[in-house]
């Protein structure tokens, strides 16, 4: 199992859903950046389960920084972040040890780990592990913000219902990001927020779940970062985003809408304004040839409906190879999209910081 990602910064995640704790180690962080523990807590709170829109498993998600942090700043050595699991109920999963839950990783986990995996709450496959990614991402976001880079996400689509897309105006876009980053339920249009929440509650009453699309924007990120092929901005961010358990689709800029465009619609006209080269539209989401062009980066992530639903489902027992009707118990989310936005922001922050540091390392050796 490979749980480490990154080039100049390395992130290693560890733990299981019902183990004593989860966490991550960040290697290669630059020294001397201020880290606000209040901001770290606020970022973790965006991911936490709250109210009737989320699971009743509500963890404190208190992050302990046990190394790499001194007198309010990064030290440059490995930063270890620990989060205790304090509200597990493992008995809910005892009857499901070999009964395969549709939509989960149960079948594939058995095939890979031969029954030795921790099955409680999905073990290492659980969305619970994304709390560690969220903690790491908060550190990276705070470093990026000190360099003038801001990241934010909103629910663009929930089960077919739509929110207002991000603005094409960079000034308004930054305001939207700042607004979303202090909201528990990240939606631009307040009317859409009510409709979305009603749809989640409706799915819950029907013992079902819903998914949707998150739209993420990044402003202030410099141009010229990324590589043409294997380490393109799209390649690195997609790799990270697809590591988030619920994500089944990622696109950039106009994304799949490119399929219905002509070339003149898909291209972004370039102009010089006060000596600055900018594109007049942003269909390509701030990226050309795998490299940033200085415009806002735009990413869409498809979040599937939560696989844990309370309806009877057809399944099979891995041990006996008998067909069974599965009715799960326990505490589960009718939707995770509103919690996942904090995780998506974190994955994007880590990927962009790592790519930016790669650029700086190369430039240090360029001829004068």
What tokens does 335 get?
Answer: 């939707």
CA 289: distance to chain centroid?
Answer: 24
Q: What is the pTM of this model?
A: 0.92
Which residue from 344, 20, 367 is spatially nearest to 151, judged by alpha carbons?
344
Q: How confident is the model at residue 360 (pLDDT cuts 50, 70, 90)?
A: confident
Please, are residues 301 and 249 in contact by the beta-carbon 8 Å criterion? yes
- The reported pLDDT for the residue numbered 60 is 74
- CA quadruple 182, 44, 129, 10: dihedral sign: positive
Q: How confident is the model at residue 367 (pLDDT cuts 50, 70, 90)?
A: low
| Predicted confidence (pLDDT) at residue 88 exceeds the cutoff of 70 | no
| Predicted confidence (pLDDT) at residue 368 exceeds the cutoff of 60 | no
| Structure-token match 């009510």, residue found | 194
Average pLDDT over all residues of the chain: 91
| Predicted confidence (pLDDT) at residue 365 exceeds the cutoff of 70 | no
Length of the chain: 368
Residue range 308-339, pLDDT digits in tens:
888 999 999 988 999 999 888 777 789 999 99
Task: Give the C-alpha separation, 1 to 113, whole Å.
Answer: 10
Which residue from 335, 339, 302, 296 is spatially nearest to 214, judged by alpha carbons?
302
Q: Percent of the chain having pLDDT more than 70?
A: 94
- CA quadruple 86, 92, 94, 97: dihedral sign: negative
Which residue from 21, 24, 88, 102 is spatially nearest to 58, judged by alpha carbons?
88
For residues 40-56, average pLDDT:
83
- Higher pLDDT, residue 46 or 59: 46
φ and ψ at 164, to 5 degrees? -65, 130
| Predicted confidence (pLDDT) at residue 177 exceeds the cutoff of 90 | yes
Q: Percent of the chain having pLDDT more than 90?
A: 73
């Amino acid at each position: 199992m490979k749980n480490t990602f990154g080039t100049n910064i390395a992130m290693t995640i560890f733990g299981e859903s019902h183990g004593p704790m989860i966490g991550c180690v960040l290697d290669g962080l630059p020294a001397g950046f201020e880290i606000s523990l209040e901001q770290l807590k606020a970022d973790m709170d965006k991911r936490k389960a709250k109210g009737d829109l989320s699971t009743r498993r509500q963890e404190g998600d208190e992050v302990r920084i046990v190394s790499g942090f001194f007198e309010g700043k990064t030290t440059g050595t490995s930063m270890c972040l620990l989060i205790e699991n304090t509200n597990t109920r493992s008995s809910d999963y005892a009857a499901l040890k070999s009964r395969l839950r549709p939509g989960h990783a149960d079948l594939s986990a058995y095939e890979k780990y031969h029954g030795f995996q921790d099955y409680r709450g999905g073990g290492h496959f659980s969305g619970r592990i994304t709390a560690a990614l969220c903690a790491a991402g908060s550190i990276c976001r705070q470093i990026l913000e000190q360099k003038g880079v801001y990241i934010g996400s909103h629910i663009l689509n929930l089960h077919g219902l739509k929110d207002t897309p991000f603005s094409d105006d960079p000034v308004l876009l930054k305001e939207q990001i700042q607004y979303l980053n202090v909201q528990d339920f990240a939606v631009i249009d307040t009317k859409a927020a009510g409709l979305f929440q009603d749809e989640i509650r409706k799915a819950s009453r029907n013992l079902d779940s819903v998914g949707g699309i998150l739209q993420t924007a990044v402003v202030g990120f410099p141009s010229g970062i990324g590589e043409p092929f294997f380490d393109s901005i799209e390649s690195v961010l997609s790799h990270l985003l697809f590591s988030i358990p619920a994500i089944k689709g990622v696109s950039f800029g106009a994304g799949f809408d490119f399929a219905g465009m002509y070339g003149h619609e898909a291209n972004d006209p370039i102009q010089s304004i006060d000596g600055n080269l900018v594109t007049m539209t942003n269909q390509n989401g701030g990226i050309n040839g795998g490299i940033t062009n200085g415009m806002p980066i735009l990413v869409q992530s498809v979040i599937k409906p939560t696989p844990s639903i309370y309806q009877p489902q057809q399944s099979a027992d891995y041990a006996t190879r008998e067909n069974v009707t599965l009715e799960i118990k326990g505490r589960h989310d009718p939707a995770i999209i509103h919690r996942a936005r904090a995780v998506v922001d974190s994955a994007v922050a880590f990927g962009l910081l790592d790519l930016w540091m790669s650029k700086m390392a190369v430039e240090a050796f360029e001829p004068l």
